[in-house]
Structures are given as structure tokens and as C-alpha cells.
Amino acid sequence: MENLGRREFIVGALSSLFFAFPKRAEAARRKGVRVKLPPFPFQETVITGKKKGKRILVVGGIHGNEPGAYKAADILRTVEVEEGELIVAPRSNFLSVLANVRGYNGDMNRKFATLSPKDPDYPYVEKLKELIRELRPDVVLSLHDGYGFHILNPRFWGQCIVIDEENFNGYPLGKIAREVARAVNEKVSRRRWKIPVFNTRTFSPDTKHPEQRKSLTYYCLSKCNIPAFCLEASKQLPTLETKVRFHLLMMKEFFKIYGIKIKPDFDTLISETGKFLERKRIYTARIRINGREVEISSGKTFKVPKGSTFEFVAFHGSEGTNVISRDVNMNWRNFLVRRRISFEVKDDFKRIFNVRLIVTS
């Protein structure tokens, strides 16, 4: 336990609100410790091929408790593109990924129609929309892990390719999806693991799934005239590695149809999925307390006097490494702590170590 109570401190800057009211700022400093956490980034990677070709966007992490989806997307960030262009947004809803919940601020896949700027997800939804409007991909693949096996129960969303209509504006969505499903199913022996096509008929007046009109794929089709598909692995597949492999199997066929060639190829990624998921990493967090920095690699408790500033500055680990606290609203990244708080340094859904802050007099 590190006790910083007897050391000399430089009081950090408070928010602009407190600058406007010096007396209030001074009172706040006396009451607790100002905590600053890094923002949740919107991750995007654009990989341009040596040869020109079509452009494909892969989106993962809209739902934070679907690791097969965002881990599969993340693997694609490591490849080279030989022909065409690949855009990857692996953790569209980074907070929900770290919290390991479907949607910490509600279901993000129901926020692409209208959304208040006050919604905490607003900047991330808008960034994804902006990415689609500006880069104009030839196809968008939205990756998810759904419940159950659709082939056994049509009410379940797991293990299928979801389309919004059989055809839309000349795009043969059903034909393409069935071609992908057919190629994948040739490699699948277990019936329940086979991939059917699920047509929600979202544009039809009598659709049974009107909620899909708020989804990413519907936005791509209706507002941007870009074909989009939802790829669903099943949450009930036995391992994370199996989920990721099914996403890679489906994406392999979409990439083939649209002529996007990558290196290493999909067969290599599929055969070596375990290596990507089990890669050993060294995790550290760099913390700044009133200008003094310390780097830690395991759980630690800090005793810090009132009037101080306690900041998480940076992390070393993976692209999924960041910090949350379940003791406060997780959207807060700049706030005052009066007594104590516990933080989790995480790699996506996996907790690496805890950091405790105790406020002293």
C-alpha cells in the first residue's frame, strides 16, 4: 500500500466549471480527490490494399457481451490487404465491452434511427455513421453473438446471417447470404451449428421485427444505400475460439464475393485463432498523482489526501485495455471521490487487476 499523505502535492486543475467559481473549486478540492480517467476511444482501422478493389467495413462490439464478434473483428486489424480496402471498427461500444453487458446505456443497435445528443452513446453512434457516410464501403458486416441456434428455433438469433429484405434497391441480399451460408455449411457437420438465413423483412409493413428499423444494417440500407448484413454466431457455442472461427468462416465468403484479398488469408486465421486469442501480454497502468507518475502491473491501493488529483494516464497491454469503476456511473471520466473507490483495469471482458483509492484527510 502506497501512502502519499506525507508528501508534497501540486493541486491539479479542476474542470472549467470550477475555474469559473474559485471559491467553489477550493471547497471541492478540500472535500475529496479529483479522479480523471481516459476517454473511451472509438477504434477504427483502415487498411488499403496494394491493388484497388472494393471496400468492406467490419463492425464489432455494438453489444458489449458478444466477445466472439469483437474479437473476430479485432483479429482483422492485424492483416495486410493485397486487393481492395478493409475498414474495421472492432469495439463500437467500448464501455459496454469493458462492463461485459449488452448495452450499458441501452441497446446501441436501437439507436441508429434517432438519438438525443444527451445520450452517452451519441458520439460513438455518430462516429460510426460518419465513417459509413464518408468512406462509402461497398458492404457493411455487423458482427454479433446471438442467443441459441436459429436452425432449431426461428425465434433465436444465434448462428445465422440476418438480412433486412430478400432484395433491396437492386441488391440481392438473400442470394448473397445464401451463397455464404452454403459455403460455410459445407464445412459444418453438426446440424445445430449450421448457418441459415434469417430474413426479418424490415422494410415490409407487416414485419414481425419493426425494432430492426433502428439498427445499423437498416441505417446502411435506408439512409446510405449500402448493402449490409448481420453475422450472428451463437452464444451457446462451447468456446470463445469456436465463436470467433464461425465469424471468420462467414467473413471469408463475403470477402471472396466482394474480391477483398488479405494476408495471411482466412484459412490461416481460422486455423490459428487460438494463438490470436491466447497471446501472452504484459499489462501495466500508468497513474499520475499530482504530477508524479507511477507504473503498476498488479493490484495496488493508494492512500491520497484530499485536494489531490488522481489520473489514469495510459495502459500497456492490448487494444482492449482500459479502466472502469463499478462504484460510480461508468460514463463518468472526471469526477470527485470523497472516501474510497475501486477501479478495474481490464482487457475487454477480462479483469487484469484492481486499483483502490482511499481518500485521507
Helix then strand then coil, in percent of the chain rounded to 5, is 30, 30, 40
Domains of the chain: 2-31+281-360 (no CATH), 45-277 (3.40.630.10)
Distance between start and end Cα atoms, the chain: 17
Q: Is the pLDDT of residue 6 over 50?
A: no
Output the nine-digit C-alpha cell for 23: 471559491
Residue 31 has what pLDDT? 87
Please state, in angstroms and rounded to a whole number, the distance separating the CA atoms of residues 301 and 236. 38
What percent of the chain is predicted at pLDDT more than 90? 91
Residues 6+ positions from 67 with CB-CB distance below 8 Å: 97, 145, 240, 243, 348, 349
Please state, in angstroms and rounded to a whole number, the distance separating the CA atoms of residues 13 and 34. 9
Quote the distance between the C-alpha of residue 11 and its chain's center. 35
- Chain segment 11-69, per-residue pLDDT in tens: 233 333 333 445 555 555 678 999 999 999 999 999 999 999 999 999 999 999 999 99
- Chain segment 167-221, per-residue pLDDT in tens: 999 999 999 999 999 999 999 999 999 999 999 999 999 999 999 999 999 999 9
Please state, in angstroms and rounded to a whole number, the distance separating the CA atoms of residues 286 and 72. 28
pLDDT confidence bin for 4, thresholds 50/70/90: very low
pTM, two decimal places? 0.91
